[in-house]
């Protein structure tokens, strides 16, 4: 059975998954790179070419980071993760943050109220722009995933909808010991969520805590 998975989704102690003021020169707003600092040094993120090529870590952070790819046949992301534009597309030249050969190498469903033609990139990534609720979007992603799992890539607005609809089987959240104070909250509107998940916590020497939630009844 194809699972729905969240990986490496980083939130501050006060529950924010991104800062305020997302912009072209500040994809996470005032949070800067603090939420993803734990990942930047891992072998997995270096191998994606995202973060230079100095020495890579192989510890527990990398172990979790590396679970991101295997078995995934499609991603669903929100329009704000895709890029900094809001409202009607002023500029369809924007092709995401990830260059001509994005890290996904699978179809990617981008949720948005502002449709535009699918965007075929190098390396197997195609962005499909879809205006739909979580259940229908998941159906479309599954049709594109060739029987493999679907990753919900974020951001918070998107993941919240899938959690609210009880569509997520595996939930890997990284709690980063910072207080962001403002931005987009992951847990909003999800009171009692824990009743649907078994939760395991693993701390890392880097200071973050990896939480893995497995939906009860999910394989």
Shortest spacing between CB 186 and a second copy, in angstroms: 8
Nearer to a second copy, 92 or 200 (CB): 200
Least distance (Å) between residue 58 CB and ligand NAP: 21
Instruction: Report, in Å, the least distance between residue 191 CB and a second copy.
Output: 3
Interface positions with ligand NAP (CB under 6 A) = 9-10, 17-18, 22, 27-28, 35, 77-81, 86, 111-114, 131-133, 154-158, 161, 184
Strand 119-120 relative to strand 126-130: parallel, antiparallel, unpaired?
Answer: antiparallel
If the CB atoms of residues 132 and 164 are measured against a second copy, the closer one turns out to be 164
Residue 112's binding partner, choosing from a second copy, ligand NAP, none, with beta-carbon cut-off 5 to 8 A by kind? ligand NAP
- Minimum separation from the CB atom of position 94 to ligand NAP (A): 13
**Binding site partner of 80, from ligand NAP, a second copy, none, Cβ cut-off 5-8 A by kind:** ligand NAP
Residues 173 and 7 sit within 8 Å (Cβ to Cβ): no
Q: Are residues 184 and 17 in contact, defined by beta-carbon separation less than 8 angstroms?
A: yes
Footprint of a second copy (CB under 8 A): 13-15, 175, 177-182, 185, 187-194, 199-203, 207-209, 211
Least CB distance to ligand NAP at residue 183 (A): 8
Rg of the chain on CA atoms, in Å: 16
C-alpha to C-alpha distance for 127 and 215, rounded to whole angstroms:
28
C-alpha pair distances (Å), 137 with each of 20, 90, 140, 148, 169: 27, 24, 5, 15, 16
Q: Is 140 helix (H, G, I), strand (E, B) or coil?
A: helix
Contacting residues for 184 by C-beta, under 8 A, at least 6 apart:
16, 17, 18, 155, 156, 157
- Candidates 173, 153, 158; CA nearest to 214 is 173
Nearer Cβ to ligand NAP, position 74 or 156? 156
């Amino acid at each position: 059975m194809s699972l729905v998975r969240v990986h490496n989704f980083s939130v501050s102690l006060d529950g924010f998954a991104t800062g305020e003021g997302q912009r072209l020169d500040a994809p996470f707003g005032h949070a800067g790179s603090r939420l993803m600092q734990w990942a930047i040094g891992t072998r997995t993120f270096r191998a994606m070419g995202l973060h230079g090529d100095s020495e890579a870590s192989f510890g527990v952070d990398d172990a979790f980071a590396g679970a991101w790819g295997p078995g995934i046949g499609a991603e669903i992301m929100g329009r704000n993760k895709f890029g900094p534009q809001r409202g009607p597309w002023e500029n369809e030249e924007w092709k995401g943050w990830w260059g001509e050969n994005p890290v996904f190498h699978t179809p990617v469903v981008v949720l948005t109220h502002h449709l535009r033609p699918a965007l075929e990139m190098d390396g197997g990534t195609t962005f499909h722009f879809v205006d739909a609720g979580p259940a229908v979007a998941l159906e479309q992603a599954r049709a594109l995933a060739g029987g493999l799992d679907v990753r919900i890539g974020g951001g918070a607005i998107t993941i919240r909808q899938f959690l609210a609809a009880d569509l997520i089987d595996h939930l890997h959240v990284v709690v980063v010991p910072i207080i962001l104070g403002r931005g987009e909250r992951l847990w909003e509107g999800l009171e009692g969520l824990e009743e649907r998940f078994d939760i395991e916590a693993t701390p890392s020497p880097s200071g973050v805590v990896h939480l893995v939630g497995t939906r009860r009844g999910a394989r």
